[in-house]
Structure 1
Amino acid sequence: MKTYGLIGFPLSHSFSKKYFTEKFLNDGIADHQYELYSIENVKSLPDLLSSNESICGLNVTIPHKVSVLPFLNEIEEAAEKIGAVNCICVKRFQGETYLKGFNTDAYGFEKSLTPLLQPQHTKALVFGDGGAAKAVKYVLKKLKIEFQVVVRSVTENAILYSEVTPEILASHKLLINTTPLGMSPNIDTFPEIDFTHIADQHLAYDLVYNPLETTFLLKAAARGAVTKNGLEMLHQQAEKAWAIWNR
């Protein structure tokens, strides 16, 4: 039996187990399973791997995308530049466990965002500055899209929500939520910007996929913006992870 899984805390919002379980069933992949490993402290990772020797690969979600780095033997170049890992390939040699980290969030985000980009999407507002935001910023730099990070507490190289002026909203036509705001069960939360300054030239992208229509997306759509949730990004990054695990 080959086991794959997801580490994070909490994991009540995860679609990964359902996605991979259905994939194994639909593709006729026998002797494979996908489990959820709710670990509050990433220091539990070595014990998890030693007590589950069938684990061949792991996805990583909040809050471990950055804190997992010191536990890895190797990190791919893109993940190293991003500074966050959401996929681990687990290899075992003569009783030793070797962990290599990857970032498939960047791949999934780029694949799902690029078809929606229009000539006016030259500047972006990125809400949040956690592990997911690191992948988003990496892709925006790659696509040569200028960006401004927006956060709730004073941070270097970022502005506060209260500092997002009508002029900034007018000039930044790409809006990206990388925070858990709006995620079930807290579906009434959202990045607190003035939505009256959003129009049909804007593209609002939310990495949240549960619910499929967050309050952020609903408010943006009400102003005529094109909207996109994080479900396709999830699918794209999951397939990339599967390819990595089976190299």
Structure 2
Amino acid sequence: MLMARTFGLIGYPLTHSFSKKYFTEKFEHEGVEGVSYELFSLENIGMLEQILHEHHNLKGLNVTIPYKIGVLKYVTDLDPAAAAIGAVNCLKINRETKTIKGFNTDAYGFEASLKPFLKSHHTKALIFGDGGAAQAVKYVLGQLDIPFLSVVRKKQEGSIGYDDLTGELLAEYTILINTTPLGTFPDIDACPEIPYAYLTPEHLAYDLIYNPEETVFLRRARLQGAQTKNGLEMLTLQAEKSWEIWNS
């Protein structure tokens, strides 16, 4: 059957996808007909033009690693939050007006899933990594008035290195957020190299990764008594927000 509307995910590599399974099951459970969700594994972002040309019924796309920033050059309009973040993970395609509007539903999903875990002593955050997902995290922390430091392998202005993480610093920064792919299936033994021995029950460790359910980062934090949260709820929330945007 010819689908009236197609949605999908672009990224590379797409070895496993939460999105396709989630949306396919959503369509089935909710009786949404004439709709499909496809995977478009693009070796380079320039291949997006061909996808748009070949799939005339394509109405919306989710964007994942490594194109959340690179895809901006194909966007004709930006949602204010996405403009402030400087990265998008959701595209709404309008064939009639020939426009592609960019949104960042990562920010919505992250904020909604983080807030219930915040306590009075969670006043400062460390963000591991500085890619597209990290930009959404920074935006949300800014909205919540939570100061943060970015921790990266190669120090730049405004960031620190992993070797700068001392017990004193970790006592002050009690929210730890992993935005790197370290620990993602199948490389499940990897994790950010931080001094886990300094973590305490005062800490909140949040990993944007959802597969595996508990990464090494989360496990090592939990064993120190820290509260932990993986990225599954964030992913579910951002997927639902994408669907809302595509149908608005």
Which whole-Å deviations, capped at 9, do the CAs of 1:133-184 have from their partners, x for residues lacking one? 0000000000000101000112221100011111111111100000000001
CA distance in 2, matches of 1:179, 1:67: 17
Matched with 2:80 is: 77
Maintained 8 Å contact 1:79/1:85: yes
* TM-fit CA distance, 1:66: 0.3
* TM-fit CA distance, 1:113: 0.2
Match of residue 91, structure 2, among 88, 92, 108: 88
Which secondary structure does the structure 2 equivalent of 1:162 belong to? helix
Q: Establish whether residue 133 from structure 1 lines up as the match of residue 134 from structure 2.
A: yes
Matched with 1:58 is: 61
TM-score where L is the length of structure 1: 0.98
* TM-fit CA distance, 1:44: 1.0
CA RMSD of the aligned region, Å?
0.7
Which whole-Å deviations, capped at 9, do the CAs of 1:109-139 have from their partners, x for residues lacking one? 0000000000010000000000000000000
Matched with 1:192 is: 193
Matched with 1:26 is: 29
Which secondary structure does the structure 1 equivalent of 2:156 belong to? coil
Which whole-Å deviations, capped at 9, do the CAs of 1:81-130 have from their partners, x for residues lacking one? 0000000001111xx63100000000000000000000010000000000
Match of residue 12, structure 1, among 10, 15, 28: 15
Amino acid in structure 1 at the alignment position of 2:17:
S
1:203-222 equivalences under 5 Å are 203-222=204-223
Which secondary structure does the structure 1 equivalent of 2:98 belong to? strand
Amino acid in structure 1 at the alignment position of 2:229:
K
Which whole-Å deviations, capped at 9, do the CAs of 1:44-80 have from their partners, x for residues lacking one? 1111011011111000000100001011110111000
Matched with 2:110 is: 109
Match of residue 68, structure 1, among 68, 71, 75: 71
Amino acid in structure 1 at the alignment position of 2:60:
G
Q: Percent identity?
A: 57
Amino acid in structure 2 at the alignment position of 1:162:
D
Which secondary structure does the structure 1 equivalent of 2:33 belong to? coil
Which secondary structure does the structure 2 equivalent of 1:68 belong to? helix
CA distance in 1, matches of 2:106, 2:201: 27
CA distance in 1, matches of 2:17, 2:234: 14
Which whole-Å deviations, capped at 9, do the CAs of 1:20-48 have from their partners, x for residues lacking one? 00000000001111010000111111110
Structure 2 gap segments, 5+ residues each: none
Amino acid in structure 2 at the alignment position of 1:129:
D
* TM-fit CA distance, 1:241: 0.3
CA distance in 2, matches of 1:13, 1:201: 34
CA distance in 2, matches of 1:244, 1:182: 31
CA distance in 2, matches of 1:61, 1:164: 29
CA distance in 2, matches of 1:43, 1:13: 22
Which secondary structure does the structure 2 equivalent of 1:88 belong to? strand
Amino acid in structure 1 at the alignment position of 2:13:
P
CA distance in 1, matches of 2:173, 2:14: 33
Aligned residues: 245
Moved over 2 A (4+): none
TM-score where L is the length of structure 2: 0.98
Q: Establish whether residue 146 from structure 1 lines up as the match of residue 142 from structure 2.
A: no
* TM-fit CA distance, 1:221: 0.2
CA distance in 1, matches of 2:228, 2:142: 21
